[in-house]
Amino acid sequence: MRIRIISVIKRQEPHLAAIESDYLKRIRRFLPCDVIEVKRKEVTGAHSEKLLKVEAKRIENVLKEGEFVVLLSEKGKELSSGELAHFMNSRMKNGKRSLAFVIGGPVGLSRDLALKANEHLSLSRLTFPHKLVRLILLEAIYRAVEILRGGPYPK
């Protein structure tokens, strides 16, 4: 299985990028994992709907056919680390070769994109800056991989 994290981000902060790089190295020892940055569209005020449509199109352009798409959303289902591991494992067993986690920008994600997603997950009921969400997601994926392989990390 391949994991792809697609995020709408202007530019990741260097100190966060260094931590992300470390988690990516850890995950990649066991399965392919990539982070794809989708350029943010700068529009303000009443044009936010237009912004979401432009960003949705950019996200759709990088999604691959047959990919299982998971939108991270405040309204999504919350999973424990063990449940995320089970979720990933069941996708692998069902023949899904690629799992794409989509993280929106500061304005969120378009309704059309939300309707096209296979699943909606939430990392927490708390609100996080979208730059931190990617790092938290990488940690959660690494923990799930360790759970699946019976490694020592989750203890």
Q: What is the pLDDT of residues 84-137, one digit of tens each?
A: 999 999 998 888 889 999 998 877 888 889 999 999 999 998 988 888 999 999
Question: All domains of the chain, ordered by start, with CATH?
Answer: 2-149 (3.40.1280.10)
**Alpha carbon 95 to chain centroid distance?**
20
- H helices of the chain, where? 14-28, 48-62, 81-93, 111-116, 130-149
pLDDT value of residue 94 = 84
- The CA-based diameter of the chain, rounded to the nearest angstrom, is 50
Interval 65-72 mean pLDDT: 94
> How confident is the model at residue 70, as a pLDDT?
97
pTM: 0.91
Confidence band (pLDDT; 50, 70, 90) for 48?
confident
Angle of the 81-93 helix axis to the 130-149 helix axis, nearest 10: 70
